[in-house]
């Protein structure tokens, strides 16, 4: 499926995105490294895990999407790939929940790309997929990413100590969440109202997760 709002597009990530994806990711190495998941050291005698290649990543995302556990998207802005958004950890049954992770090219940060992309994804999760709850987990130090969820009105639910292995160590994360009842008119519509009412000011230095 493809989700759009003006120049901002969420669409399935593809194998043929490899060259552009790697170029954007490489150019933003220093920008992304403090917030990216890393592989923890193996247990004594255990196998050493390696980061997947791009093709392995896409195959895994597709398999998880086919199984109903993930929604992987490439983010496009003005016709070019500028980042990635994934709804992962989708759980059905009595929970109907998932969590959103994302990153964006530093060159387009501060233009509303990431809040709009997250709003599109949330509306899709609630209205089309049938989820009831969506979470975003953010390191306390990641002020730009925290501004994304604050702009969108996510509710803070506290801290999960040493929640994910990020940038070489187990890191605490702040938890932000929304349920479908909290955005009855849609997240994108609420974000548009918030954005139009906000005073004009320079954007943040970046919005990544």
pLDDT in tens, 95-138: 999 999 999 999 999 999 999 999 999 999 999 999 999 999 99
- CATH number reported for the structural domain that contains residue 102 in this entry: 3.40.630.30
- Burial state string for 152-183 with b = 16 or more CB within 10 A and e = fewer than 16: bebeeeeeeeeebebeeeebebbbbbbebeeb
User: Which residues, in sequence order, are CB contacts of 89 under 8 Å at separation 6+?
Assistant: 69, 70, 97, 98, 99
Per the prediction, the chain carries an average pLDDT of: 92
Give CA separation, 129 vs 67, 157, 177, 189, in Å: 13, 24, 17, 18
In a domain, 120, yes or no: yes
Q: Is the pLDDT at 209 greater than 50, yes or no?
A: no
In a domain, 202, yes or no: no
In a domain, 46, yes or no: no
In a domain, 125, yes or no: yes
Domain count, the chain: 1
Please state, in angstroms and rounded to a whole number, the distance separating the CA atoms of residues 29 and 50: 18
In a domain, 205, yes or no: no
Residue whose entry in the numeric block shows the structure tokens 């194998």? 15
pLDDT value at position 201? Answer: 44
In a domain, 13, yes or no: yes
In a domain, 181, yes or no: yes
Average the pLDDT over 55-60 and give the result.
96
Provide the whole-model pTM: 0.91
pLDDT value at position 46? Answer: 67
In a domain, 156, yes or no: yes
Q: Which domain holds residue 31?
A: 3-38+53-197
């Amino acid at each position: 499926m493809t989700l759009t709002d003006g120049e901002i597009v969420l669409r399935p990530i593809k194998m043929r995105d490899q060259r552009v994806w790697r170029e954007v990711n490489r150019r933003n190495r220093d920008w992304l490294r403090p917030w990216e998941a890393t592989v923890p050291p193996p247990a004594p005698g255990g196998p050493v895990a390696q980061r997947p290649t791009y093709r392995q990543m896409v195959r895994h995302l597709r398999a998880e999407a086919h199984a109903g556990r993930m929604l992987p998207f490439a983010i496009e802005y003005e016709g070019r790939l500028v980042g990635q958004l994934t709804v992962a950890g989708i759980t059905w049954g009595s929970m109907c929940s998932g969590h959103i992770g994302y990153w964006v090219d530093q060159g387009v940060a501060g233009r509303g790309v990431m809040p709009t992309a997250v709003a599109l994804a949330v509306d899709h999760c609630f209205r089309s997929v049938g989820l009831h709850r969506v979470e975003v987990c953010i390191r306390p130090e990641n002020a730009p990413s925290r501004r994304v969820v604050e702009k969108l009105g996510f509710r803070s639910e506290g801290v999960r100590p040493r929640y994910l292995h990020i940038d070489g160590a187990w890191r605490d994360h702040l938890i932000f969440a929304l349920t479908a009842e909290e955005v009855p008119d849609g997240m994108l519509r609420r974000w548009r109202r918030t954005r139009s009412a906000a005073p004009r000011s320079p954007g943040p230095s970046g919005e990544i997760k």
